[in-house]
Amino acid sequence: MLSSALRSMTRHPHIDSTSGRRKQLGRKGNRDGHVVGVDIGGSNLRVALADMRGNVLGKWSTSTERSSSPAAVIKQICEGVTCLLQRTSLHHDSLRAVAAGVPGVTNADTGLVLATSYLGGWCDVPFRNLLESALDVPATVENDVRLAAIGEHWRGAARGVRDFAFLAIGTGIAAGIFVNGQIVHGKHWAAGEVGYMLVPGTPEAAPKRGMPGSLESVIGGEGIKLQWTSALDGNGNSLPQNLNATEIFGHAVAGNRLAKTVMGRSARILAYAIYNISLVLNCSLFVLGGGVGASSSLLQATRRVLRSYNEPVRPKLTISSLGQDAQLIGTIRLALDTAELRGLHK
């Protein structure tokens, strides 16, 4: 088993400060074998098997329930690993490490899932220990949005960028932040919970426990839908009420007046949040991901707002190049780091 101190070293890729490229695995023996990455979502669970150069050999997925217990999720992961090993004619003994991403506040040192509003509201779940017991290999557990940032940093839109923020905008909003080439966790493992930011145009009242934060209540997926239904009220618009955020943005591009109002407000509030984060961290890049964040029309509208706020910095915006695979790619990178450290510190 890896010690807690050693595990803390696996929270981010090891970057060569001169070239920005990933250092090669240290020992020849460590290049033999395979790793597993697991992306646990509120509705789906995905497992990937990769070789020691990060080449994905196979993927497996299944559905999860909001009430899924840790034991049920572990069982699904084991099923996925077994299936992938059989497909590739590999033996379990070839596995070197596993890394898993969880949608919640996670202590990456201890592998403890502190809290999540998904998966039945897990609280203080020793998920790393459960993974290691089930698969008999070293494991690392990390927050899913931070893993998406790690994935983008390794093989995506932020490759080689030392200071950037990955903004996941879906039902909720969260950030994975890199500073000086290192992923940021914070003292209580809650760095990047930007969905609770207070910016102009968002509610000032403190959210109740379990409810969306101020920012995500307005420009998260459900918040944008609420903006839309409120805009329709009494305006006689012919468009349906039950549109999702990307559909609303599509109608905005097509010229619908109310949809343009909703997208304009969403872009303005998102621009405020990005500008404020950039003032604190001086990030050179913001990568937008998630079901809402991946909208090119939202990206363009947000860029237009930010042009008015270009002093002292003008942050660069782009869309994730890895899309829905960002988290899974991040888990593979983290599993490779875990396997490397295990090999170097036997």
User: Looking at domain 4-153+325-344, which CATH architecture does it have?
Assistant: 2-Layer Sandwich (3.30)
pLDDT band at 28 (very low <50, low <70, confident <90, very high): very low
CA–CA separation, 88 and 186 (whole Å): 39
Three-state SS string over the chain comes to CCCHHHHHHHHCCCECCCCCCECCCCCHHHHCCEEEEEEECCCEEEEEEEECCCCEEEEEEEECCCCCCHHHHHHHHHHHHHHHHHHCCCCHHHEEEEEEEECCEEECCCCEEEECCCCCCCEEEEHHHHHHHHHCCCEEEEEHHHHHHHHHHHHCCCCCCCCEEEEEECCCEEEEEEECCEECCCCCCCCCCHHHCCCCCCCCCCCCCCCCCCCHHHHCHHHHHHHHHHHHCCCCCCCCCCCCHHHHHHHHHCCCHHHHHHHHHHHHHHHHHHHHHHHHHCCCEEEEEHHHHCCHHHHHHHHHHHCCCCCCCCCEEEECCCHHHHHHHHHHHHHHHHHHHHHHCC
How much is the pLDDT for 235? 73
| Least confident segment among 71-80, 187-196, 275-284, 305-314 | 305-314
Superfamily of domain covering 157-321: ATPase, nucleotide binding domain (3.30.420.40)
How much is the pLDDT for 236? 67
| Section 266-280 average pLDDT | 96
| Section 142-154 average pLDDT | 98
Would the CATH topology of 4-153+325-344 be identical to that of 157-321? yes
Give the C-alpha distances (Å, rounded to integers) separating 85 from 33, 95, 265, 336: 12, 9, 49, 17
Q: Which is nearest to 55 in space by CA: 40, 35, 38?
A: 35
How much is the pLDDT for 13? 41
The tens digit of pLDDT for each residue in 82-138 reads: 999 999 999 999 999 999 999 999 999 999 999 987 888 799 999 999 999 999 999
Higher pLDDT, residue 41 or 21: 41
| Section 67-78 average pLDDT | 93
Distance in Å from the first CA to the final CA of the chain: 9
How much is the pLDDT for 341? 86
pLDDT band at 177 (very low <50, low <70, confident <90, very high): very high
Instruction: For residue 38, give the amino acid letter.
Output: V
Sorted by where each begins, the domain ranges of the chain are: 4-153+325-344, 157-321
CB burial of residue 238 (10 Å; 0-12, 13-18, 19+):
exposed
Would you say residue 157 has pLDDT above 60? yes
Between the CA atoms of 132, 135, 140 and 143, what dihedral angle is there, to the nearest 10 degrees? -110
pLDDT band at 22 (very low <50, low <70, confident <90, very high): very low
How much is the pLDDT for 56? 97
The first and second tokens of residue 82, run together, are 């077994």
| Section 22-29 average pLDDT | 39
How much is the pLDDT for 65? 80
Length of the chain: 346
The tens digit of pLDDT for each residue in 290-312 reads: 999 999 999 999 999 999 987 88
Give the C-alpha distances (Å, rounded to integers) separating 112 from 99, 194, 223: 13, 21, 30
Q: In whole numbers, what is the pLDDT of the chain averaged over residues?
A: 89
Would you say residue 69 has pLDDT above 60? yes
How much is the pLDDT for 120? 80
pLDDT band at 209 (very low <50, low <70, confident <90, very high): confident
Write down the residue that tokens 């909703």 correspond to: 262
